[in-house]
Amino acid sequence: MVFSEKLGLVMAHIEVTPEMSRRILDNIQNVSCSPVTKAGNAYRPKMKQFLTLAACLTLIITGGIFMSRQFIEPPPHGYMTPDGHYIAAESAEDLSRIALYQIYDLEGLPFEPENTVYSFHAGISQIWYRSGSQDIIYRKGYGTDDVSGVEDTFTEVKTTDIADLQVTFKGNGENYALATWSDEQFSYSVFASEGLTDTQWQTVISLWE
């Protein structure tokens, strides 16, 4: 028997047991509704504490009120999102009711969306526009941390002022794929799977909210 098969037999001894699974899920549930304090960040503004609490309450309340809502699966192709934990909304207005803060559709998109998916998860609202192979994903969440969920490494980073917003753009090559900015209460991100030109970004962000 070759080495890889032997190693497979060895590692088969390591398994997630039902008890372990229960422990992990219990702990995750506890953590997901505990305020997160970053190391070295002893001061936490009262508003932020309130918003964190509001996010947790929102999760609990919406979980109760919207039990009849379908927990959506990610679209059948393209970008995956954490499975089974999203609350589906029907429109930006509906999403705002679930999130307990206002969120509007993006305007000035470079394509006419064929599909738009509204969802809410862990305090983050997401509007996902798709046309063919192009995706634009808009997110809004509490606090000033990056809510984009984009893990790619980008070679180009620049910060530009657009309509009183300080927007950070990230990308590889000519077109930037990710824009992030924040205000006093919320963080925002727009991810374009195929990147947007400077003019396209300018249009989307200057028409924002």
Partner 1 sequence: MLKSYGNAVLRLAYSYLHNMADAEEVLQDALIKFLQTAPILENEKHQKAWLCKVAANLSKDRIKYNALRKTDELSESLAAEKQEDLSEVWEAVKALPVKYREAIYLFYYENYSISEISKITGAKESTVKSNLFRGRKLLKDILEDRYGF
Residues lying near partner 1 in the complex (CB under 8 A) are found at: 1-4, 6-11, 13-16, 20-21, 23-25, 27-28, 31-32, 36, 78-83, 85, 121-122, 124, 137, 147-151, 191
- Residue 179 and residue 138 in contact, taking contact as beta carbons nearer than 8 Å: no
- Residue 16 and residue 23 in contact, taking contact as beta carbons nearer than 8 Å: no
User: Minimum distance between the CB of residue 165 and partner 1, rounded to whole angstroms?
Assistant: 22
CA–CA separation, 160 and 48 (whole Å): 26
- Residue 75 and residue 128 in contact, taking contact as beta carbons nearer than 8 Å: yes
User: Minimum distance between the CB of residue 175 and partner 1, rounded to whole angstroms?
Assistant: 17
Complex with partner 1: residue 72 or 202, whichever CB lies closer: 72
User: Minimum distance between the CB of residue 147 and partner 1, rounded to whole angstroms?
Assistant: 8
Complex with partner 1: residue 44 or 163, whichever CB lies closer: 44
For residue 166, give the amino acid letter.
Q
CA–CA separation, 169 and 165 (whole Å): 12
Complex with partner 1: residue 82 or 163, whichever CB lies closer: 82
User: Minimum distance between the CB of residue 65 and partner 1, rounded to whole angstroms?
Assistant: 21
CA–CA separation, 191 and 94 (whole Å): 22
CA–CA separation, 145 and 94 (whole Å): 25
Complex with partner 1: residue 16 or 164, whichever CB lies closer: 16
Complex with partner 1: residue 15 or 161, whichever CB lies closer: 15
CA angle 27/18/33 to nearest 5° reads: 15
User: Minimum distance between the CB of residue 79 and partner 1, rounded to whole angstroms?
Assistant: 5
